């Protein structure tokens, strides 16, 4: 339930931006959303916020932040590196009764697992385009699983969103799909047209919702990252060639995983990559022991 009274008590977002001279900066990957119906839809996609801490990266002038607070978030932690936005967000904190904590700085340098420990966490963000994929990979590859977050509701360029949910034998299928689908359930919730943003980006965007799941196989993360990086790093090559970049003879890895060496990475499903990871881990352990 969105608190319309709270939203109506706030000054118009466009006026706030004009007052503070907060024009979107391309260098920060900024594109602002003003449509509260669309922003509220993003928040509803995340699920109920009661009892959760919400974490937002790159709130900018606070459009999505307003929608999160209006949806009943008990505590919202927002990381913003653009100092022009800090006074706007601090005013929003005051108007929300102190429910918003603003952390100035670079989200790539935040230890979220420590910062957000103690309560279920929903991450909701219109991620800056220049760091969105890097942040997602970090959240997907946290070593403790289940992770510190209970859901991710994130906006990406649509081409990135399609890579997250891609299936084998498609052009979009790659390392990001394997990492996302190994132990979580990603889906594209809806598209967002470029005209919804100020300034409009060159491409359509999409909101992706991800929830943790039981891993498809219990394999070491380090080995899964290694085999996917090698296989998709030279995706046009057969696996017997691309896996040589692991620094090991790929033949025993492929044999242990029961995967023909003349296949290419794009045809393997996630369970097959898990078998490769298990074989890689076993051979690495054998090498250490010898």
**Residue numbers in the chain where pLDDT is lower than 50:** none
Rounded to whole angstroms, how far apart are CA atoms 226 and 239? 13
Of 191, 91, 210, nearest to 150 by C-alpha is 210
- CATH number at 221-289: 1.10.8.100
pLDDT for res 138: 95
Phi, psi of 121 (to 5 degrees): -120, 130
Q: Residue 288's pLDDT is what? A: 79
Q: Which residues pair with 207 in a beta bridge?
A: 155, 190
What pLDDT does residue 289 have? 76
User: What mean pLDDT, rounded, does the chain reach?
Assistant: 93
For the chain, domain boundaries: 4-212, 221-289
What residues contact residue 180 under an 8 Å CB cut-off, 6+ apart? 136, 140, 164, 165, 186, 210
Q: What pLDDT does residue 199 have? A: 76
Q: Which of 160, 153, 102, 146 is nearest to 125 (CA)?
A: 153
User: According to the model, what pLDDT value does residue 286 have?
Assistant: 83
Q: What is the pLDDT of residue 68?
A: 97
> How many Cβ atoms are within 10 Å of 218's Cβ, its own excluded?
10
- Nearest Cα to Cα of residue 61 among 100, 101, 13: 13
Short-list 265, 158, 141, 267, CA closest to 208 = 158
pLDDT score for 26: 66
pLDDT at 28: 61
CATH superfamily of 4-212: Vaccinia Virus protein VP39 (3.40.50.150)
4-212 and 221-289 have identical folds: no
The model's pTM is 0.93
């Amino acid at each position: 339930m969105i608190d319309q009274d709270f939203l109506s008590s706030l000054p118009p977002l466009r006026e706030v931006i004009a007052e503070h001279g907060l024009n979107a900066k391309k260098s920060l990957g900024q594109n602002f959303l003003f449509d509260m119906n669309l922003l509220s839809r993003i928040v509803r996609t995340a699920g109920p916020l009661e009892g959760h801490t919400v974490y937002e990266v790159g709130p900018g002038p606070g459009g999505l932040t307003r929608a999160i607070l209006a949806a009943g978030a008990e505590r919202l932690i927002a990381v913003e590196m653009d100092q022009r936005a800090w006074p706007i967000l601090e005013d929003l904190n005051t108007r929300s009764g102190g429910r918003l904590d603003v952390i100035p700085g670079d989200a790539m340098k935040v230890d979220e697992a420590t910062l957000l420990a103690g309560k279920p966490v929903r991450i909701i963000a219109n991620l800056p385009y220049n760091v969105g994929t890097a942040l997602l990979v970090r959240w997907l590859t946290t070593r403790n699983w289940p992770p510190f977050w209970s859901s991710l509701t994130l906006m990406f360029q649509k081409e990135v969103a399609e890579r997250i949910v891609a299936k084998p034998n498609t052009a979009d299928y790659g390392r990001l799909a394997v990492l996302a689908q190994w132990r979580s359930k990603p889906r594209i919730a809806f598209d967002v047209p470029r005209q919804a943003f100020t300034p409009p980006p060159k491409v359509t965007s999409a909101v992706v919702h991800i929830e943790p799941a039981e891993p498809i196989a219990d394999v070491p993360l380090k080995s899964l990252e290694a085999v996917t990086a090698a296989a998709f790093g030279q995706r046009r090559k057969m696996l017997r060639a691309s896996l040589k970049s692991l620094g090991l003879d790929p033949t025993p890895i492929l044999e242990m995983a029961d995967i023909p060496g003349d296949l290419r990475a794009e045809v393997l499903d996630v369970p097959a990559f898990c078998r490769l990871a298990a074989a890689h881990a076993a051979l690495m352990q054998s090498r250490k022991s010898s």
